[in-house]
Amino acid sequence: MLSKNQARLFFLGGTVLFFLIFLFLSANTLSSGIPEKTHSENITEEVTNGKQLFDENNCMGCHTILGEGAYYAPELTKVIDRRGEGFVKAVLTSKTPWTLSGRKMVAYGFSDKEANDLIAFFKWIGKMDLNGFPPKPDLKKE
């Protein structure tokens, strides 16, 4: 059992230690070149419009992007690489709901401009340096 003095020193030592760790990790994050990894210089009006459409239509209610969101529908971080621009545009502009893998995609019926804006947003997200996220599945059979 610790005495009051030992408990106080233990608490203060732990607080100082974890505060120093916090400072180190914050400095490391700020110096890691986030703008270079996200390629923020490539944010165009179309990318901004696509992000706004993504948020307004609550796409994260079903999908994940950059690992955030719901897990009902597919991850959209590298969707252009996986499915191709034509497939994504067909899904976005469809007037009827899509049924893929037993799950139904809402038929938003976006216009061509809105679909192109969303595709520009997905392309920008897909070109970020995410340190290997999302990982490619290992489909080898051993």
103 DSSP β-pair partners: 100
Identify the CA nearest to 45 among candidates 137, 98, 124, 126. Answer: 124
- Is a pLDDT exceeding 70 seen at residue 118? yes
Rg (alpha carbons) of the chain, rounded to whole number: 22
81: tokens are 């690489």
Prediction pTM value: 0.74
* Amino acid, single-letter form, for residue 129: D
Query: Is the C-alpha dihedral spanning 101, 106, 111, 116 positive or negative?
Result: negative
For 67-117, write each residue's pLDDT tens digit: 899 988 889 999 999 899 999 999 999 988 888 777 888 888 899 999 999
Q: CA-to-CA distance for 135 and 81, rounded, in angstroms?
A: 13
Domain ranges of the chain: 1-32, 34-126
Taking the CB of residue 91, how many other CB atoms lie within 10 A of it? 17
CATH number belonging to the domain at 34-126, selected among 1.10.10.10, 1.10.10.60, 1.10.760.10, 1.20.120.400: 1.10.760.10
Q: Which residues contact 104 (CB under 8 A, 6 or more apart)?
A: 97, 98
For 17-53, write each residue's pLDDT tens digit: 999 999 999 998 888 777 777 788 889 999 999 999 9
